[in-house]
Amino acid sequence: MAFTEFRPLDEKCLVEYIKATPALSDKIGNNFDDLKIKEVGDGNLNFVYIVVSPAGSFVIKQFDQLIVELSNSLFKIAFFSYEVKCVYGQAIPYIRCIGESWPMTKERAYFEALTLREHGRLSPENVPEVYHFDRIMSVIGMRYLEPPHIILRKGLVAGIEYPLLAEHISDYMAKTLYHTSLLYRTTTEHKHNVAEFCGNVELCRLTEQVVFSDPYKVSEYNRCTSPYLDRDAEAVREDNILKLEVAELKSKFCERAQALVHGDLHTGSIMVTRESTQVIDPEFAFYGPMGFDIGAFIGNLILAFYAQDGHADQGNDRKTYKEWILRTIKETWSLFYKKFTALWDEHKDGSGEAYLPGIYNNPELHQLVQRKYMQDLFHDTLGFGAAKMIRRIVGVAHVEDFESIPDASKRAQCERPALDLAKMLLKERRKFQSIDEVVSAIQQLQ
């Protein structure tokens, strides 16, 4: 069977596809007698299959392209369920778009594969290996993250501590962000890579709308825990200072090609065990502001912190777990700062053209430049993290941390202080000089 043009893979076609692809068939020792294939939904427009044999295993992810006019009911199925399962019509998922219709091209598979390989080269311990990519079929074959790996967000809801999380994620962010920036690369190399990723425009446009636009206006797709947060959502739409600040962040998101960012680095894009942290699903990747990735991760940890009271019971008040989350927030930024600046110091006389050695080789000037750069990055992190928090409470696509709290009144009691903190961080981010101050602000707004 030839695969010379795109076709959706069902289980039968997948077996034939694997047989025709040595990079995949070799992984299972060319043994198809005991092959087990399980289709799992990943919550997007993608078919995902787990392929297991006695000789080996891998995951197949295929991206589809559809443009579907959405009714309100379909949109609610697609976006409003915290489980966010795929919606199927004759085995083909409907598009989860924003607005009346939204094109989601198959090319996002190319950008995901490209990013997995680049980030995997820079941080191999924290990115699953890509075994195969087929641009025509929009197929990625990669390492299967076997149990007990679970999505980090689910672990946070369950109250599981991950002692190496801050160490691992700070390592991933420091390595991927530093080495894809002008601090390390020449302007020629950087512009070439920026141009390559400009093709991922549809998913960037989607982010622009759901993060920086919809929460601040009346939109048919916005929702909140009604009626408890109706006034809170209205207050977001009426806050002129908030709108000024989010406009500045949107401008940075659209215009500042600082590094190759994952683009969707929330706790649902990370799989974990107590010993392993694996970053997945970078289909939103592009060259953008570093703080967008760091902020997404820290912002989602803050959401998890505020959700804990909704998961507390008589056997576990979650207070100890909340303290662990706060330590993880603090350690993530502190370790990132340490590792990122260490890489900068190590390569300060290298080929990076952001600060040419011939101009900035004075130790005192180097420290001044580095201090300002990291301070600006810290404030970007707080701003983008806050924007991501706001959209998860009064925009579209909420998070399981809150949505799994069945009592709406109790859920709103958890969401409100998170929203208040996010608004304050977004508007007053430049007043914060350390992560300790941020953690203190979190503790005060409970």
Torsion angles phi and psi, residue 179, rounded to 5 = -75, -10
Q: For residue 67, what pLDDT is reported?
A: 40
- CA–CA separation, 132 vs 144, rounded Å? 13
pLDDT reported for residue 326: 98
What is the distance between the alpha carbons of residues 296 and 375, in angstroms, rounded to a whole number? 17
The one-letter amino acid code at 389 reads: M
SS3 state of residue 40: strand
pLDDT tens by residue, 225-281: 999 999 999 999 999 999 999 999 999 999 999 999 999 999 999 999 999 999 999
pLDDT of residue 2: 77
Burial (CB count <10 Å: 0-12, 13-18, 19+), residue 220: exposed
Identify whether the C-beta of residue 270 lies closer than 8 Å to the C-beta of residue 173: no
| Apex 304 CA angle, 299 and 308, nearest 5 | 150
Residue corresponding to tokens 């950087």: 190
Q: CA 82 to CA 220: how far, in whole Å? A: 18
How would you classify the pairing of strands 259-261 and 286-288? antiparallel
Sign for the pseudo-dihedral over CA of 153, 158, 159, 165: negative
3-state secondary structure of 265: coil
pTM, entire model? 0.93
Distance between CA atoms of residues 178 and 384, nearest Å: 19
Which pLDDT belongs to residue 102? 53
Sign of the torsion angle spanned by Cα atoms 358, 361, 364, 366: positive
Pick the closest to residue 47 from 34, 33, 35, 64 (CA basis). 64
Please list the pLDDT of the chain residue by residue as tens digits (446 residues): 679 999 889 999 999 999 999 999 999 999 999 999 999 864 446 789 999 999 999 999 998 764 433 333 333 323 322 222 222 221 223 333 343 445 567 889 999 999 999 999 999 999 999 999 999 999 999 999 999 999 999 999 999 999 999 999 999 999 999 999 999 999 999 999 999 999 999 999 999 999 999 999 999 999 999 999 999 999 999 999 999 999 999 999 999 999 999 999 999 999 999 999 999 999 999 999 999 999 999 999 999 999 999 999 999 999 999 999 999 999 999 999 999 999 999 999 999 999 999 999 899 999 999 999 999 999 999 999 999 999 999 999 999 999 999 999 999 999 999 999 999 999 999 999 999 999 999 999 99
- Is 300 within 8 Å of 270 (Cβ atoms)? no
* Amino acid 41: pLDDT: 67
Distance CA 285, CA 261 (A): 6
Residue range 392-410, pLDDT digits in tens: 999 999 999 999 999 999 9
Kindly give the pairing relationship between strand 46-53 and strand 56-63: antiparallel
- Give the largest CA-CA distance in the chain: 67
* Cis peptide upstream of residue 363 (ω within 30 degrees of 0): no
What is the distance between the alpha carbons of residues 308 and 290, in angstroms, rounded to a whole number? 28
Enter the DSSP assignment of 30: T
